[in-house]
Structure 1
Amino acid sequence: MTRIVTRSVPQRTVWQLEQQGLHPLLARLYAARGVQDKAELDYELKSLIPPTALTHASDAAQILADAIEAEARLLIIGDYDCDGATATAVGMRALKALGADVSFLLPDRFKLGYGLSPQIVDVAAQQSPDLIITVDNGIASLEGVARARELGIATLITDHHLPGETLPEADCIVNPNQPDCTFPSKCIAGVGVMFYVMLALRAELRERGFFEDHPEPNFADLLDLVALGTVADVVKLDRNNRILVSQGLKRMRAGRLQPGLAALFKATSRDPKRASAFDLGFLIGPRLNAAGRLADMRLGVECLLTDDPSRALQIAQELDALNRERREIESDMQEQALILLEAMDVNDPAAGVALFEPSWHEGVVGILASRIKEKLHRPVFAFAPSEGGIIKGSGRSIPGLHLRDALDLVAKRAPGLLVRFGGHAMAAGATLCEDDFEKFRQLFAEVAAELLAPADLTRTLETDGALEGSYFSLEMARLLENEVWGQGFPAPLFIDEFEVEQQRVLKEKHLKLRLRKGNTRIDAIQFNFSKQPGSTTRAAYRLSINEYMGVETTQLMIEHLE
């Protein structure tokens, strides 16, 4: 069952935003999302929270500036997802522009796992670095930092994940979620943290007079990478993140993007001049992530680092092929997951669901968990086998359950059950022994039942109400497409009653419709539909643009049909 609610719209705020010059539809949409003044929609770089507000960013800048002046050897250790890849690329490009001796290393997710482990430190030590810089990881790497210290290697942690009770004894930690950090944007992505550290480093070098003898780089040129990592990591788009994404999209639309990113747009047959957050989250990001899921994320980072358009296009095509392979694997895993679910009561599933299948692919369990979560509206963990009797799982949650906190509670109730865990409110990872899976499955269901209120277990679809007939136009679709929407600042979703004039099924799984509202007729499509409507329907939809043979038309993307 899906409960449909309409966002409340404070009319006085709508009136005020209209008076400040906003289009009436945008005024209504923004007011419903908590925007009270047009100034909050100023996405210029000058409106960013300054780097000095990020705790220890200045300390990190001093460490890096000293290292550059001493010609020390720097090594970035990243993560194997899109956020980690873009953060690695931002660090590499920025530090190289400042003349640093820097290289990067990414752990093999299938052999070394996530984060700055002692094993990856031993691999890193073969390059004899003076300083290890983590991006999008490290806040939970107590043993890895200790191992680096044993080997005489300094460590700088840049991360955004939630810390445990104990912090690693690194030389410096930059993480907005560490204790006593007052940085207002707690939801900044790992790439955003690294970008801030690079801004602080440039300011430190400027103060030292470094640019009297060296050219000063414009780090705004890296904002296309920052935007990609921010959207792909599905962090909440608070105002600061919206500024980063808006500025990145602005550069893409102006043709000022890295060759690798331009190649990825080409591989997806999308025009960067019309780049949107949707493109980054659903088309570009998944292709970059495919490298880390199925092969080696070094391929993805190389795509973002190369300045050779031909090489970039070659890699982008490889990433596109990997993404197609990922989709095939995911499809097979989904079928197996649905068979497992048949043994459960799908109409009344446990409050928390954990699934394991020995044939599943470790790199794809996160996407599988997300798909099953959408189907059941329950927090879901999906596990796949690793080495030595270990299984690794990825979880996705629903509003009302903080996934990392739930794992913390599981760990406290069953000490030793979780080999390791970490993550955020809506996504987390866990590692355990295969023999302990059944115990985890039961305990996770119990903890979820305690933490979730009964109302949380009903799927709620928030809409922006009806859309006036005159707004079913290309002009309005483009207006909405050009704005920045995403996690925590959702794209507009409207709901209306329609007459169904035509309907047909495409490829046995998509529903193509011709709808009528008053005197307005419009095409609509629902992907992976579950039921066909009668002669009338109530539909929740997004206003979009369909392009076919070079002709653009307005189309409704159906999210829910009644």
Structure 2
Amino acid sequence: MTDASGPRIRQRQPADAADHLPESLPAILRDLYRARGVTSAQALEYGLGSMPSPGALAGIDEAARTLATAIMAGHRLLVVGDFDADGATSTALAVKGLRSMGAGPVDYLVPNRFEFGYGLSPELVAVARERRPDLILTVDNGISANEGVEAAGAAGIDVVVTDHHLPGETLPSALAIVNPQVASNTFEGRHLAGVGVCFYVLLATRARLRAEAWFDDQRPEPNLAEHLDLVALGTVADVVPLDRVNRLLVEQGLRRIRSGRATPGIQALLDAAGREPARVNATDLGFGAAPRLNAAGRLDDMSLGIETLLAADTATAQQCAGRLERLNRERRHLEREMRDAAVADVEAESLETQGDVPPILCLFDPRWHQGVVGIVASRLKDRFRRPVVAFAPGEAGEIKGSARSVPGLHMRDLLDAVNTRSGGRIVQRFGGHAMAAGLTLQGDQFQAFKALLVECARERLGDEPDGEVFWTDGVLPADAYTLETASLLRYAGPWGAEFPEPRFHDRFRVQNQRVVGEHHLKLSLSPWEAPSTVIDAIAFNAAADVEIGRGQVVDAIFRLEINRYRGVDSPQLIVDHLAPA
């Protein structure tokens, strides 16, 4: 939240390209879009008709042919997913989509992270064989499952891989591989999440079945757009870059939710989070529904999350969501304990090195829970504005790490560099993408890994990583602290990774302040250029970090949002950084 030396603030600058945005666009949105590289109306076109054709997605024709053939033959299909929100939504989407196209027995299997680890491993294939599938379809995993695919083939089980993670040097010997990171340079949607890749594969499979005259009055062609709320949730939760294609998929899903057409599971997750479906935006999915869904994979078994998404009625969905809510509360308790311990460790190291905090943080504590280290790494990244790798104990002396990055550092590439420099002797397994990754090593290799990690990160980032920078959209005009502007900004997205929610900076006078919920600061602020205006603000998890009093002048970095209290809406600032002026 704060830093003794204060952050560096940089203002986003508009693109140099000519502006072809609609003339009717409000000036504040025109500036925001141009600062994010959007200069044409086409870049804001989110209709389904503007989706790029699947044809440029390598491997999709073979995948569609294989799946269509299996469906028409009545083969047993097994969807193998992952234990995060992208994996859960991908699994639910695949199961629903295949069943809606008339597939015979369709089942799913997701590895328990504490027993099997990630992906289609040979050990998971042994479990899968008990289901007697003819075909395994991987979703949000599989691109690095060379041994697992080989084990499936040896058991007479065909495999189709759909994934979005970066591939290794060799690809698995599956019947088909669909991954926008593999031989798909001309495909516009190269940043699809796993659930987005799965959606495209289902579209291509439906087209293949249509060409085979599979659909008729008794077996009608399904409307796959009915499942776009699942695509939206998985895309936002996985924090993939929100390029135009991902924004389109998310916006279409949000529109379905707002119009009351959400699946019972997503409706129940939003209800549990206290979010109103009719007003939902991408932030509500990312910070409301996604953490509850992820809680299943972090602390228990993601099957509970998938069953929530597959629930056919409201009562079943609410029952499942209630169990997820209890897990999420437990997760929050563990997270707070782990985060506090990690912050203490970082601050102690900073004292020992006279404030010389390394450009990347690498932490391990034998008391930590491996299902929660990912979210703790994310929280530490936000607090210290540095990439973070956090480890927790695994099995047989292993430690399992979760990494989160900042703009300017590709995390998987960094881990690959560490692995190369060590001659492959330290990191046992790793995978991921630019902003997040996972890895495993032996506990006695932690210090050696940490030294190499810091060395490689320093070569890429220097001693002052880009995470030290707060990028803003400048000073919010004095007449823009209104409910109208807050509503305009809220629905002008969807905002997310690499298409960030508008954030501003300004100087304020504190009119009032108090601590709420033990950890948060509730404030009343007056903008420096509009002293007669008073606006509510909240700074989450800042009560222990900031000492300010009534009448004090402060500098703040913030987002303008809508606060609803007892049915009444008002503008509110969400403060990301606060410090005495």
Band the TM-score falls in, shorter-chain normalisation? over 0.9
The Cα offsets for residues 173-214 of structure 1, whole Å up to 9 and x where unpaired, read as 000001455322221100000000000001011111111352
Instruction: Give yes or no for the alignment of 1:72 onto 2:75.
Output: yes
- What TM-score does the superposition give when structure 2 sets the normalisation length? 0.94
Alignment of 1:198-209 (within 5 A): 198-209=202-213
Q: 1:37 aligns with which of 29, 40, 63?
A: 40
Is 2:258 aligned against 1:256? Answer: no
> Which stretch has the larger CA shift, 350-359 or 39-48?
350-359
Please give the secondary structure, in 1, of the residue aligned with 2:332.
helix
Is 1:395 equivalent to 2:403 in the alignment? yes
Give the structure 2 partner of residue 371 of structure 1: 379
Deviation of the 1:524 alpha carbon: 1.3
Aligned to 2:368: 360
Which residue pairs with 1:195 in the alignment? 199
Q: Does 1:440 align with 2:443?
A: no
Aligned equivalents of 2:502 and 2:30: distance in 1? Answer: 12
Q: In the alignment, residue 521 of structure 1 is paired with which amino acid?
A: V
The CA deviation at 1:400 is 2.2
1:543 equivalenced with 2:560 (yes/no): yes
Q: Secondary structure at the match of 2:46?
A: coil
Question: Which stretch has the larger CA shift, 141-150 or 523-532?
Answer: 523-532
Specify the code of the residue in structure 2 equivalent to 1:207. Answer: A
Asked if residue 277 in structure 1 is aligned to residue 286 in structure 2, the reply is no
Q: Which of 51, 57, 61 is the matching residue for 2:60?
A: 57
2:321 to 316, 319, 332: 316
Structure 1 runs of 4+ aligned residues shifted over 4 Å read 10-14
Aligned residues: 560
The within-5 A match list for 1:90-129 is: 90-100=93-103, 101-129=105-133
Distance between the aligned counterparts of 1:251 and 1:301, measured in 2?
20
Asked if the contact 1:400–1:453 (Cα under 8 Å) also holds between the matched residues in 2, the reply is: no
Match among 82, 87, 98 for residue 84 of structure 1: 87
**Preserved CA contact (<8 Å) 1:160 1:175:** yes
Q: Secondary structure of the equivalent of 1:17?
A: coil
The CA RMSD measured in Å over matched residues stands at 1.6
How far 1:561 sits from its partner (Å)? 2.0
Give yes or no for contact 2:273–2:289 (8 Å, CA) kept in 1: yes
- The equivalent residue for 2:186 is 182
2:273 counterpart residue number: 268
Question: Which region of structure 1 is more displaced relative to structure 2, 274-283 or 372-381?
Answer: 372-381
How far 1:373 moved relative to its partner? Answer: 1.9
Query: What are the ranges of 5 or more consecutive residues in structure 2 without an aligned counterpart?
Result: 1-5
- After superposition, the C-alpha distances for 1:101-141 in whole angstroms (9 at most, x for unaligned) are 21100001001000110000111011111111100000001
Residue 455 (structure 1) shift? 4.5
- For 1:405, give the aligned amino acid: D
State percent identity of aligned pairs. 52
| Counterparts in 2 of 1:38 and 1:522: CA distance versus 1, 3 Å | same
Deviation at 1:538, TM superposition (A): 2.3
Q: Distance in 2 between matches of 1:371 and 1:107?
A: 26
Return the alpha-carbon distance in structure 1 between the equivalents of residues 569 and 200 of structure 2. 39
Aligned with 2:534: secondary structure? strand
The one-letter code matched in structure 1 to 2:369 is H
Are the structure 2 counterparts of residues 516 and 377 from structure 1 closer, same or farther at C-alpha, using a change threshold of 3 Å? closer
- 2:482 is matched with which residue: 470, 473, 478? 473
Distance 2:406 2:392 in 1: 22
1:233 and 1:377 mapped to 2: Cα distance? 20
Structure 1 position 434, deviation (Å): 1.2
Q: Does the 8 Å CA contact 1:225/1:248 hold for their aligned counterparts?
A: yes
Mapped partners of 1:22, 1:437: distance in 2:
53
Q: Deviations over 1:10-49 (max 9, x none)?
A: 59856x5352x11121111111111111232111001111
| AA aligned opposite 1:510 | H
**Aligned equivalents of 1:336 and 1:266: distance in 2?**
32
Bigger shift: 148-157 or 190-199?
148-157
Cα 1:417/1:524, change in 2 over 3 Å: same
CA distance in structure 1 between the aligned counterparts of 2:555 and 2:18, rounded to whole angstroms: 29
Q: Secondary structure at the match of 2:465?
A: helix
How far 1:242 moved relative to its partner? 0.3
CA shift, 1:377, in A, is 2.4
In the TM superposition, residue 353 of structure 1 has moved relative to its aligned partner by 2.3
Mapping for residues 206-221 of structure 1, pairs under 5 Å: 206-212=210-216, 214-221=219-226
2:439 counterpart residue number: 430
Question: Which of residues 529, 535, 559 is equivalent to 1:522?
Answer: 535
* 1:405 corresponds to which of 413, 416, 419: 413
Whether the 8 Å CA contact 1:353–1:444 is kept in 2: the answer is no
Deviations 1:202-259 (A, max 9, x none): 1011111111352010000000000000000000000000000000000000000101
Moved more, 340-349 or 380-389: 340-349
Q: Is the contact made by 1:506 and 1:512 (CA closer than 8 Å) also made in structure 2?
A: yes
Aligned position for 2:234:
229
Q: Which residue of 2 aligns with 1:552?
A: 569
CA contact (8 A) 2:386 2:468 kept: no
2:386/2:465 contact within 8 Å kept? no
Question: Is the contact made by 2:264 and 2:309 (CA closer than 8 Å) also made in structure 1?
Answer: yes
What's the offset of the Cα at 1:454?
4.0
The change in CA–CA distance for 1:367 and 1:475 in structure 2 (over 3 A counts) is same
Structure 1 position 339, deviation (Å): 3.3
Paired residues of 1:55 and 1:182 also in contact (CA < 8 A): no
Contact map agreement 2:51 2:245 (CA 8 A) in 1? yes
Among 506, 514, 531, the residue aligned to 2:546: 531
- How far apart, CA to CA, are the structure 1 residues paired with 2:15 and 2:209? 47
Unaligned runs of 5+ in 1: none
What amino acid does structure 1 have at the position aligned with 2:477?
E
